Amino acid sequence: MPKKQEQVELSKEIDEVMVCFVKIAQHLKGGGTLLTLPGAVAGELMTAISGCDQLDDEAREDLACALRTVGMRTGELTAALIAKKPEAAAPAQA
């Protein structure tokens, strides 16, 4: 399939939130729980959401930019959500 490359504007703040969502989905699918979520990821998510609070009115009204940003990460998020959970290791036989 032919592909083309374009340069588009994305929302840095929304992308940071989406990257955290991908990390959380990967952690949970890998057998982790919300309680075992690395503190760094939780901190990144809180910082990213706070960044979205700082968006100016122009950025808030640019829904096309917001949708492009979410769309760009949707493939990664979907892949994390539909990935098979790793199988538990079989007990060693004596």
Rounded Cα distance, 49 and 29, in Å: 23
Query: How far apart, in whole angstroms, are the C-alpha atoms of residue 27 and residue 34?
Result: 9
* pLDDT at residue 59, rounded to an integer: 83
CA distance 62 to 59: 5
**Cα 27–8–73 angle (5° rounding)?**
15
Structure tokens at 90: 């079989």
Residue 90 has a pLDDT of 60
First to last CA, the chain: 52
Write the pLDDT tens digit of every residue in 19-71. Answer: 999 999 999 998 888 888 888 899 999 999 998 888 888 888 899 999 999 99
Reported confidence tier of residue 80, pLDDT bands at 50, 70, 90: very high
Rounded average pLDDT over 65-81: 92
